[in-house]
């Protein structure tokens, strides 16, 4: 492929000019991998179809079973399972010159729902029963807790009803981050079908157009939140069958909701009984070898070797599998910072040179470029969101420009900022300039997913925004007839923080389930330390539905602000522009999408006749007011009043303490 003399990444950002050589080197690495792939497989699309060759498949002509496993260091492999009474010697596999082992069985030899494993005698001459690497379903024995692979050929396979849904129909992603198992109110595991029938309608009604599912890839420990994956091609059996997951995705598509998968390609569980670790007994294979590089220093998990062709094929095919088989609409790539750097993000990023030095894992960069390219080739318009806290330049720029090709990055600094502000700074000392700078400080031309909090803040050991703002008062003073200054402050700031972050923080929005109504409790998975309790591993929707409690007001405000975002395609508009940063009065005002957003962060100062420069002359009216009684406010403003600019194009407004408003110009079309 002929490349431009100067990479597009440098043309878009002249500060990157000193690193032109490094950017070009990355582009050459990507081109060389693409050349290798296309010369051998014809295209990246063909290369990603490894799941049709590896693992368990039926021969097209005869219907016979063919099982293949890559284990180059192994001495012997034997297929074992229900079909042969777990005989470790009766069904040996044969090895080819590439280290791929194979066995063929008659069409009726393996039946739907039968358990299987592969007995591997590794290069260390130790025999172990392992779960096949490409297995598409697993089950855990309730007595022994042992996982086994499962043959899945459903006698009543899911029939897709909503095949015409396209992720490109989503103008800007409004993401509802969710965990299926804890999505119900009862203290137990909940299922894919329960989520589809009971939770998706809530998500649709609120105005979210995308759901991001956590913990779908199979993981042996429930409390890992799904981030210690063992079987990458298998949907977790805790929540139901593969057909149940397909039902969930199909139901979402019928509602016009895109489905993202939280994909974990940054590391893998180190368990040998359930996962891929030391599969062929060589000490490496899928993962890095050597004591220093083998395990993640924080997560105690295995690190993939992205420079090995078979590993790259495994991971790319994994993406293709979820896109093809389950019709997902993209991915949120977990732990991208850990992938990008040899130090896994443990060193500070003090200057641009930190993104282009020898600490960058170039094999991982190339893999991520191939992954983002593949996702778009398979499903144009699909989302590829990167969880990166380092600020890697070009992460969300096209690969042809020298970027990594992601559609969005998570604005990870925003929730950290709000938590730090609430914890460490008195209300009267909040700086509107600091708030504005934090919300809008992002790389030019790279789309962000803004969020004020995610699952990270909801886990035990941390606190959600609502819990930090109101703490124990949430248990005793959330009644509509209660008088509580703490709760009044908490509700007011909760609304303001979310609206400011949503409107100014990026080109997409993310909310973790329950946070929209200020869910009062943390998430704590069943574990030894809490007597295996599900008490805090659920979402209490009844709190928001209860008309005697104030949670309903936060829920109503969330829906109202998303209505504005959808009606105006706000996040598809140009970035927010400051109109007024008044440190003395703690007033922040900005314009975006022909709307005027005004925040009075002061806790006690109501300002009459506040003179505010308007983005345009004319008559303005309030279309959203956080002080409305339906949002838990006090109805102190007349929503019928119109505001006319004066000769200097100023508006005269009454600003209530701890409140925010959105104004729209009268001659601008509005259908809210």
- Tell me the C-alpha distance between 640 and 206, whole Å: 25
pLDDT band at 672 (very low <50, low <70, confident <90, very high): very low
For residue 477, what are its two tokens? 């003073």
Indicate whether 651 belongs to any domain.
yes
Indicate whether 636 belongs to any domain.
yes
CA angle 9, 10, 14 (to 5 degrees): 130
pLDDT band at 290 (very low <50, low <70, confident <90, very high): confident
Report the interhelical angle of 432-440 vs 485-504 (nearest 10°).
Answer: 40
**Which residues belong to the active site?**
334, 387
Supply the CATH number for residue 650's domain.
2.60.40.1180
State the residue range of the domain holding 578.
574-665
Look up tokens 């941390």; give the residue. Answer: 462
Supply the CATH number for residue 80's domain.
2.60.40.10
Indicate whether 124 belongs to any domain.
yes
pLDDT of residue 670: 43
Q: What share of the chain in percent tops pLDDT 90?
A: 93
DSSP per-residue letters across 440-487: H---TT--EEE-S--HHHHBTTS--HHHHHHTTHHHHS-BTT---HHH
For residue 180, what are its two tokens? 């299926």
pLDDT of residue 444: 84
Report the interhelical angle of 485-504 vs 413-424 (nearest 10°).
Answer: 150
pLDDT of residue 639: 83
Give the alpha-carbon dihedral of 654, 656, 658, 663, to 10 degrees.
-40
- Within 8 A by CB and 6+ apart from 204, the residues are 255, 256, 257
Pairing of strands 642-644, 577-582: unpaired
How far lies 55's CA from each of 132, 149, 315, in Å? 7, 11, 14
DSSP 287: B
pLDDT band at 671 (very low <50, low <70, confident <90, very high): very low
578-623 pLDDT, tens per residue?
Answer: 999 999 999 999 999 999 999 999 999 999 999 999 999 999 999 9
> Shortest CA distance to 247 belongs to which of 114, 332, 344, 156?
156
- Within 8 A by CB and 6+ apart from 15, the residues are 352
pLDDT of residue 1: 57
158-179 average pLDDT score:
97
pLDDT of residue 668: 54
DSSP per-residue letters across 370-407: HHHHHHHHHSTT-EEEE--SS--TTTTS-GGGTS---S
500-553 pLDDT, tens per residue?
Answer: 999 999 999 999 999 999 999 889 999 988 999 999 999 999 999 999 999 999
- Which long-range contacts link 121-125 to residues 24+ away (Cβ below 8 Å)? 121/74, 121/75, 121/76, 121/77, 121/281, 122/73, 122/74, 122/75, 122/278, 122/279, 122/280, 122/281, 122/282, 123/73, 123/74, 123/75, 123/280, 123/281, 123/282, 124/281, 124/282, 124/283, 125/75, 125/281
Residue 40 has pLDDT above 90, yes or no: yes
**100-105 sheet: strands from edge to edge:** 55-58, 65-70, 100-105, 94-95
> Shortest CA distance to 344 belongs to which of 385, 388, 375, 308?
388
- Tell me the C-alpha distance between 517 and 464, whole Å: 11
- Tell me the C-alpha distance between 567 and 427, whole Å: 33
- Which long-range contacts link 30-37 to residues 24+ away (Cβ below 8 Å)? 30/366, 30/369, 30/370, 30/399, 31/1, 31/3, 33/312, 33/366, 33/370, 34/1, 34/370, 36/309, 37/370
Lowest-confidence pick of 246-255, 256-265, 291-300, 577-586: 291-300
**Three-state SS at 542:** helix
- Residue 65 pairs in a beta bridge with 58, 105
223-234 pLDDT, tens per residue?
Answer: 999 999 999 999
- Within 8 A by CB and 6+ apart from 142, the residues are none
| 3-class SS letters over 158-214 | CCCCCCCCCHHHCCCCEEEEEEHHHCCCCCCCCCHHHHHHHHHHHHHHHCCCEEEEE
Indicate whether 317 belongs to any domain.
no
Number of domains within the chain: 2
Indicate whether 220 belongs to any domain.
no
Provide the CB-side half-sphere exposure for 535 (13 A, CA): 8
Look up tokens 């029939």; give the residue. Answer: 159
pLDDT of residue 5: 82
117, 150, 183 - which closes a domain:
150
Indicate whether 448 belongs to any domain.
no
111, 128, 150 - which closes a domain:
150
200-206 average pLDDT score:
98
Mean pLDDT of the residues in the chain: 96
Q: What share of the chain in percent tops pLDDT 70?
A: 99
341-348 average pLDDT score:
96
Indicate whether 180 belongs to any domain.
no
246-260 average pLDDT score:
98
Indicate whether 358 belongs to any domain.
no
142-152 average pLDDT score:
95
- Tell me the C-alpha distance between 306 and 248, whole Å: 32
Buried b (16+ CB within 10 A) or exposed e, 531-540: eeebebbbbb
For residue 254, what are its two tokens? 């019928």
Residue 407 has pLDDT above 70, yes or no: yes
> Shortest CA distance to 34 belongs to which of 346, 405, 359?
405
**Three-state SS at 545:** helix
- Max Cα separation, the chain? 92
pLDDT band at 458 (very low <50, low <70, confident <90, very high): confident
119, 150, 181 - which closes a domain:
150
User: How many CB atoms sit inside 10 A of residue 511's CB?
Assistant: 24
- Within 8 A by CB and 6+ apart from 665, the residues are 594, 616, 618, 619, 620
CA angle 141, 251, 456 (to 5 degrees): 65
């Amino acid at each position: 492929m002929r490349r431009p003399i100067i990479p597009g990444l440098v043309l878009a950002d002249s500060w990157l000019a000193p690193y032109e050589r490094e950017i070009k080197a990355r582009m050459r690495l990507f081109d060389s991998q693409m050349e290798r792939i296309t010369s051998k497989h014809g295209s990246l699309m063909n290369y990603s179809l490894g799941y049709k060759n590896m693992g368990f498949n039926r021969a097209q002509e005869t219907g016979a079973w063919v099982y293949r496993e890559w284990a180059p260091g192994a001495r012997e492999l034997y297929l074992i399972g229900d079909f042969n009474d777990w005989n470790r010697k009766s069904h040996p596999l044969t090895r080819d010159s590439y280290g791929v082992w194979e066995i063929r069985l008659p069409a009726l030899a393996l039946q739907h729902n039968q358990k299987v494993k592969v007995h591997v005698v590794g290069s260390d001459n130790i025999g172990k029963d392992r779960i096949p690497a490409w297995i598409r379903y697993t089950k855990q024995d309730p007595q022994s807790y042992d996982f086994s692979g499962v043959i899945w050929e459903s006698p009543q396979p899911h029939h897709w009803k909503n095949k015409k849904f396209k992720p490109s129909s989503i103008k800007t992603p409004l993401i509802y981050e969710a965990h299926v198992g804890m999505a119900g109110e009862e203290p137990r595991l909940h299922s894919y079908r329960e989520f589809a029938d009971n939770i998706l309608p809530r998500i649709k009604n609120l105005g979210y157009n995308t759901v991001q599912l956590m913990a779908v890839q199979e993981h042996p420990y429930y409390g890992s939140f799904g981030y210690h994956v063992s079987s990458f091609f298998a949907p977790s059996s805790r929540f139901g069958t593969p057909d149940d997951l397909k039902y969930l995705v199909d139901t979402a598509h019928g509602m016009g909701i895109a489905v993202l998968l939280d994909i974990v390609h940054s590391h893998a569980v180190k368990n040998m009984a359930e996962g891929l670790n030391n599969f062929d007994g060589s000490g490496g294979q899928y993962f890095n070898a050597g004591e220093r590089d083998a395990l993640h220093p924080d997560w105690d998990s295995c690190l993939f070797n992205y420079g090995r062709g078979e590993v790259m094929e495994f991971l790319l095919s994994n993406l293709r599998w979820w896109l093809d088989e389950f019709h997902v609409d993209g991915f949120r790539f977990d732990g991208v910072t850990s992938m990008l750097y040899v130090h896994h993000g443990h060193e500070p990023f003090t200057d641009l040179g930190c993104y282009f030095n020898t600490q960058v894992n170039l094999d991982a960069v190339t893999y991520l470029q191939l992954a983002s390219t593949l996702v778009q080739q398979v499903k144009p318009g699909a989302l590829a969101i990167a969880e990166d806290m380092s600020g890697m330049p070009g992460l969300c720029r096209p690969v042809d420009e020298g970027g990594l090709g992601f559609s969005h990055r998570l604005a990870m600094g925003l929730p950290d900022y709000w938590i730090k502000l609430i914890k460490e700074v008195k209300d009267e000392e909040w700086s509107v300039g600091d708030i504005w700078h934090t919300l809008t400080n992002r790389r030019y031309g790279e789309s962000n997913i803004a969020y004020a909090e995610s699952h990270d803040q909801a886990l035990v050991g941390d606190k959600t925004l609502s819990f930090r703002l109101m703490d124990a008062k949430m248990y005793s003073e959330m009644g509509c007839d209660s008088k509580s200054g703490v709760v009044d402050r908490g509700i007011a700031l909760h609304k303001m923080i979310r609206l400011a972050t949503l409107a100014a923080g990026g080109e997409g929005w993310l909310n973790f389930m329950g946070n929209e109504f200020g869910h009062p409790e943390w998430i704590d998975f069943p574990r030894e330390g809490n007597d295996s309790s599900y008490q805090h591993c659920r979402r209490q929707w009844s709190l928001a539905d209860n008309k005697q409690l104030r949670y309903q007001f936060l829920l109503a405000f969330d829906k109202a602000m998303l209505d504005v975002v959808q009606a105006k395609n706000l996040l598809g508009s140009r970035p927010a522009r400051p109109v007024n940063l008044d440190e003395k009065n703690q007033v922040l005002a900005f314009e975006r999408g022909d709307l005027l957003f005004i925040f009075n962060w002061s806790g006690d100062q109501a300002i009459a006749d506040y003179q505010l420069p308007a983005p345009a002359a004319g008559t303005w009216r309030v279309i959203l007011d956080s002080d409305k009684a339906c949002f838990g406010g006090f109805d102190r403003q007349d929503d019928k009043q119109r505001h006319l600019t004066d000769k200097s194009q100023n508006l005269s407004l009454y600003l209530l303490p701890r409140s925010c408003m959105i104004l729209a110009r009268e001659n601008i079309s509005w259908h809210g």
